[in-house]
């Protein structure tokens, strides 16, 4: 593996103060070759003034144009933050956007309750675009009831049946003092995203010691089967453990018990390269902190760790919370001060992979891209 090229999508250091902190990246490649990258920017990671930016490149990352500088929506009279946006092309230029909306109407409240670790009210809103993401139709609520603290974790995709699958996880509400019951799930829509009543379980620890966070999935080009990777956290030990992986049937109804990989990281995006080859781009927040890529020849069952590639090397010191073992509550607060992460990648026609991520220092985090190849 090697780095072919790299650049900056959004240079936050040149922006006004309310656009200096970027995070929660997503990337999609459309049928016309355009790349869409979305991310939240704000005064700070936990600031209540965040908005969603959407940028487009028609030359595989060399130049970028802003489609939306600060997208938001009103729900029940509240103008909320869009923390993330994921895009699915249902037909040429016709996109279904899934947006994570968060109620930040009380600026005194942090995103995560420092006492309970509950999360501010979140909703998933959907909208459609007929012109590749330039204009968006009205937002509509995708109910994830009965699961509290539910958030979408990646783009929607189409199952062999024609139904749409939405990956999400659930946690707990802001003031809930009980133990959160966490699970990774899929929500299904038989009608192009109008209703989402049926749901499937992807991963859950029955005793709730192991937390399967931020599921990221990809579809096999061979048989349409699924693979999902997790940022995996041991709640009892108060620390991350090795990323876990699970394999699912093409319809998402059956999944293996998640098993550990050699990747000791956090957010982990699997990318199908063709055949049974799988690339994982992931966050390595322990020392030395950075972003890494690992390659598998057998659909994630073994990994070529001797060829692992560091494609971003953070040189601003140990990440908050990584020097010791904080409490579970303290770990959540440390997340608000992390300085890089959220790598998201797509396969390009020539077999290379385009990855977008955020990175910077304590004051400014920009959105970067890197192009990887050499997956022989």
**Confidence tier at 325 by pLDDT (50, 70, 90):** low
**Confidence tier at 4 by pLDDT (50, 70, 90):** very high
Query: What CA dihedral angle connects 67, 349, 158 and 22, to 10 degrees?
Result: -40
% residues pLDDT > 90 (the chain):
94
What's this model's pTM, rounded to 2 decimal places?
Answer: 0.97
Rounded average pLDDT over 313-321: 93
151 forms beta bridges with 169
The pLDDT of residue 317 is above 70: yes
* HEC readout, 288-307: CCEEEEEEECCCCCCCCHHH
Neighbouring C-alpha atoms within 13 Å toward the C-beta of 310: 10
Rounded average pLDDT over 133-137: 97
Reported as a single tens digit per residue, the pLDDT across 220-266 is: 999 999 999 999 999 988 889 999 999 999 999 999 999 999 999 99
Task: Give the pLDDT score at 291.
Answer: 98
Q: What is the CA radius of gyration of the chain?
A: 19
Task: Find, among 166, 167, 165, 164, the residue nearest to 192 by Cα.
Answer: 164
The total of structural domains in the chain comes to 1
- The overall average pLDDT reported for the chain is 96
Rounded average pLDDT over 267-295: 97
User: What does the alpha-carbon distance between residue 300 and residue 278 come to, in Å, rounded to a whole number?
Assistant: 6
**Confidence tier at 204 by pLDDT (50, 70, 90):** very high
CATH code of residue 135: 2.120.10.10
Rounded average pLDDT over 8-25: 96
Domain of 313?
A: 2-373
The pLDDT of residue 312 is above 80: yes
% residues pLDDT > 70 (the chain):
99
User: What does the alpha-carbon distance between residue 270 and residue 334 come to, in Å, rounded to a whole number?
Assistant: 25
Task: Give the pLDDT score at 180.
Answer: 95
The pLDDT of residue 211 is above 90: yes
Task: Give the pLDDT score at 116.
Answer: 95
Task: Give the pLDDT score at 308.
Answer: 98
The pLDDT of residue 324 is above 80: no
User: What does the alpha-carbon distance between residue 358 and residue 361 come to, in Å, rounded to a whole number?
Assistant: 10
Task: Find, among 15, 124, 32, 108, the residue nearest to 70 by Cα.
Answer: 15
Neighbouring C-alpha atoms within 13 Å toward the C-beta of 159: 20
For residue 17, give the DSSP letter: G
Task: Give the pLDDT score at 321.
Answer: 86
Task: Give the pLDDT score at 251.
Answer: 97
For residue 19, give the DSSP letter: G
Q: Which helix (H) or strand (E) holds 333?
A: helix 328-334
Task: Give the pLDDT score at 126.
Answer: 98
For residue 220, give the DSSP letter: -
The pLDDT of residue 5 is above 90: yes
């Amino acid at each position: 593996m090697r780095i072919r090229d790299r650049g900056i999508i959004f240079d936050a250091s040149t922006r006004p103060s309310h656009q200096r902190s970027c995070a929660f990246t997503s990337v999609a490649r459309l049928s016309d070759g355009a790349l869409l990258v979305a991310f939240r920017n704000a005064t700070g990671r936990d600031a209540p003034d965040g908005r969603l930016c959407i940028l487009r490149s028609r030359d595989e990352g060399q130049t970028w144009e802003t489609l939306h500088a600060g997208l938001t929506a009103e729900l029940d009279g509240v103008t909320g933050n869009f923390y993330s946006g994921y895009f699915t092309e249902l037909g040429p230029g016709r996109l279904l956007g899934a947006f994570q909306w968060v109620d930040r109407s009380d600026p005194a409240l942090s995103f995560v309750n420092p006492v309970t670790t509950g999360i501010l009210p979140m909703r998933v809103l959907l909208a459609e675009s007929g012109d590749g993401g330039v204009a968006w139709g009205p937002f509509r609520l995708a109910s994830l009831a009965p699961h509290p603290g539910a958030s979408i974790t990646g783009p929607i995709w189409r199952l062999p049946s024609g139904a749409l699958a939405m990956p999400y996880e659930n946690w707990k509400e802001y003031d809930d003092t009980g133990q959160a019951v966490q699970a990774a799930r899929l929500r299904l829509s038989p009608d192009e995203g109008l209703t989402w009543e049926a749901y499937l379980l992807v991963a859950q620890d029955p005793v709730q010691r192991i937390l399967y966070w931020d599921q990221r999935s990809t579809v096999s080009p061979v048989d349409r089967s699924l693979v999902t990777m997790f940022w995996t956290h041991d709640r009892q030990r108060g620390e991350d453990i090795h990323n876990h992986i699970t394999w699912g049937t093409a319809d998402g109804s059956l999944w293996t018990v998640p098993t550990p990989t050699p990747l000791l990281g956090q957010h982990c995006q699997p990318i199908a390269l063709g055949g049974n080859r799988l690339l994982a781009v992931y966050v390595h927040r322990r020392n030395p902190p950075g972003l890494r890529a690992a390659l598998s020849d057998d659909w994630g069952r073994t990994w070529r760790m001797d060829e692992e590639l560091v494609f971003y090397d953070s040189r601003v010191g140990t990440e908050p919370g990584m020097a010791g073992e904080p409490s579970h509550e303290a770990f959540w607060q440390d997340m608000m001060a992390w300085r890089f992460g959220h790598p998201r990648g797509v396969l390009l026609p020539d077999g290379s992979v385009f990855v977008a991520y955020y990175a910077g220092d304590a004051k400014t985090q920009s959105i970067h891209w890197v192009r990887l190849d050499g997956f022989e």
